[in-house]
A = this chain, B = another copy of it.
Amino acid sequence: MPRPIVFLSDFGLEDEFVGVCHGVLNRIAPDSRVIDLTHGVPAQDVLRGALMLAESIPYMPEDAVYLAVVDPGVGMARADLAVRTRSGNHLVGPDNGVLSLSWERLGGAERAVDIRSPEVTSPVVSSTFHGRDVFAPAAAHLATGMPIEVMGPRLDTGALVTVRVAEPHVRPGRVRAQVLDRDRFGNVQLNVRHRHLEAAALHRVRELELRISGRSRRLPRATAFGEVEEGQCAAIFDSRGWFALICNGGSAAEALGLAVGDGVVLLEPDAGG
């Protein structure tokens, strides 16, 4: 039975790029289901793409082939990766780290190749659209059972490019964090996990002090959007397990003046931090 293909990119949906890749997938693997994880990764934002892919894995079919194309270096020297993980999954995409958080979640990279076989790639490979000419064909062939070994020369899995989320700066009573993402609703995701709050002994504090660009404000903790009164903001663990700032009925990003990459300091109120 052909395996499903999970497809993520920064192509957007205004142009025909995603649709063209679907055509290529369908020609090679007409019976594979394609799950579009998202094509709204901000243009060329490898880390955001890597995070979205890796965090979605627990919800995807177990035998999925992953196709991730966020590729600012297309046409340059970097390898066109196909990776088999210890879990038996396959990942396809550029060797720029976009796949790296995913193979870590899938037991590590067991085998990697540079996709070069003319049995896989388009007869003519453009220098600008490897999604269409290299990655989609490779993902489709993997979905139909082609072994990764025949796709191209073997690569040293220890030498593949990786990315990493910046760790927040933690000390007792204080976490210096960064904005990782904001979603459609204006919710602001910080690079903070429960363990960071624990390490700072802030995990049981019912109200936090936030310092943003030198200004202070207080935010209560909440566990659901609905606990927060209309027009009020709060801090919550979001559905991806990140600590997030939200406002009921509005955009926290706008209310707090925060954009991706901005710094936020979390403190115990009146601790003088």
Q: Which residues of A contact B (CB under 8 A)?
A: 4, 6, 8, 11-20, 22-24, 26-27, 30, 33, 35-40, 43-44, 52, 55-56, 59-62, 64, 72-76, 126-129, 132-133, 183-185, 223-227, 236, 238-239, 249
Contact = CB atoms under 8 A, between A and B. Distances in A.
Nearest to A20: B59
A43 B185 CA distance: 7
6 contacts: A19-B37, A20-B59, A23-B61, A76-B226, A126-B239, A128-B225
A27 B64 CA distance: 10
A185 B127 CA distance: 16
A10 to B, nearest CB: 8
A127 to B, nearest CB: 4
This protein's copies in its complex: 3
B15 A183 contact: yes
B127 A223 contact: yes
Given A224-B76, A239-B128, A38 B13 contact: yes
Contacts of A73: 225-226
Contacts of A40: 12-15
A30 B4 CA distance: 9
Nearest to A133: B239
